[in-house]
Amino acid sequence: MRPESLTFLQTYLNNPSPTGFEKEGQKLWLEYLKPYIDEYFVDTYGTVVGVINPDAKYKVVIEAHADEISYFVNYITKEGYLYLRRNGGSDPLVAPSKRVNIFGEKGIVKGIFGWPAIHVRKVEQDKAPTIETVFLDCGASSADEVAEMGIHVGSVVTFEDEFTVLNDKFYVGRALDNRVGGFMIAEVARMLKENNKKLPFGLYIVNAVQEEIGLRGAEMVAHRINPDVAIITDVTHDSQSPMYEKKTAGDISCGKGPVITYGPAVQNNLRDLIIDTAKASDIPFQRAAATRATGTDTDAFAYSGSGVASALISLPLKYMHTTVETVHKDDVESVTRLIYETLLRIEDGHDFRYFK
């Protein structure tokens, strides 16, 4: 990876972008993307779209989502402790002893998830932490002191953990789900520009908001763009570490390439074009099956308007929705390259219908 690309990835991942509050991360992403696009727009809720060939009638989307799971302050005790509610699929089980950033009216306030010491608990009666039992300590001794710090009900909370590299093979951090996707589609735009590739269609590079609470940003922007084709990238579960059941989770491994999904929302001809591209380009890939829905922005695009030919290229990831989400360097490169090579195979007016 280029040093400049790695620097951007690290900066982008370390910047908090909780669901509904993605603005600062979106600004970073757009500044990186600007040299490689013709124009851009930002919608009402913060989805950012870079456009190449904006006057073209036929429109192709490549998309990722920008938001990360987080918490809201929900209740402040008279002693100054904070209780929370989830913003997206946050997991209280991983919270105790973690450091956090609390976004208050006066700026970021540092806090910690407290937890009673093992010495004072009846360990044999321990239960898993829940959203009702985890709490934040921001160093205050009263509700008034909390208010003086600028913290109020509705303040957003994110974990403090930052980017690192594991064994020179893996990228580790919070919010790789799915800002690493935003990184990859931005890299595709860069590669197109630097390799002087002229596409016969309009390309819309979409970094959508609010995926973690129901694909909402994708729903909005799909109606606005009204594309003909959408290639979505998101993360999926590596199932090799302990406690996974391959019979239900599938047999997916970090380091073995992009994951191409089968499911009702995935347009078969577009999916097969991606598979053919992977084979022709010697890009290793894996396969996965969805149930009724992929659970990603693929569903929002596929069923928008009169129907959009959509497909999902996933990045295998360990430990989803924790502070140590982990992806393999090679897979990041391979997903990026697969999207890039697939775009070069799509024709102007490409008709993906099953029959005519």
pLDDT of residue 250: 95
| Radius of gyration from C-alpha coordinates of the chain | 21
Token pair belonging to 220: 């909005």
- pLDDT score recorded for residue 131: 97
Rounded (to 5) percent helix, strand, coil in the chain? 30, 30, 40
Longest dimension (CA), the chain: 71
User: If pLDDT is split at 50, 70 and 90, which confidence band does 198 have?
Assistant: very high
In 81-150, which ranges are continuous DSSP H helix?
143-148
CA distance 7 to 242: 32
Is residue 65 a known part of a binding site?
A: yes
Question: Please, are residues 303 and 222 in contact by the beta-carbon 8 Å criterion?
Answer: no
The residue from 187, 211, 219, 325 that is catalytic is 211
Segment 235-250 shows an average pLDDT of: 95
The answer to the question of whether 325 is labelled as a binding residue is: no
pLDDT at 1: 87
Alpha-carbon span 166 to 253, nearest angstrom: 16
Percent of the chain surpassing pLDDT 90 = 99
Query: Average pLDDT, whole number, for the chain?
Result: 97
Q: What is the pLDDT of residue 90?
A: 95
Closest CA to 25 of 190, 156, 209: 209
Q: pLDDT digits over 19-77, tens only?
A: 999 999 999 999 999 999 999 999 999 999 999 999 999 999 999 999 999 999 999 99
| 63 assigned ligand-binding residue | no
Q: Tell me: pLDDT of 336 over 90.
A: yes
Q: How far is CA 55 from the centre of its chain?
A: 29
Which residues pair with residue 75 across a beta bridge? 83
Percent of the chain with pLDDT over 70: 100
Strands (E), 10-144: 39-42, 48-52, 59-65, 70-76, 81-87, 99-104, 107-114, 135-137
Annotated catalytic residue 63:
no
Q: Report the DSSP pairing between strands 81-87 and 286-289.
A: unpaired
pLDDT at position 106 = 95
Note the pLDDT tens digit of each residue in 139-167. Answer: 999 999 999 999 999 999 999 999 999 99
Residue 321 labelled as part of a binding site: yes
Average pLDDT over residues 203-228: 98
Number of neighbouring beta carbons within 10 Å of residue 60: 26
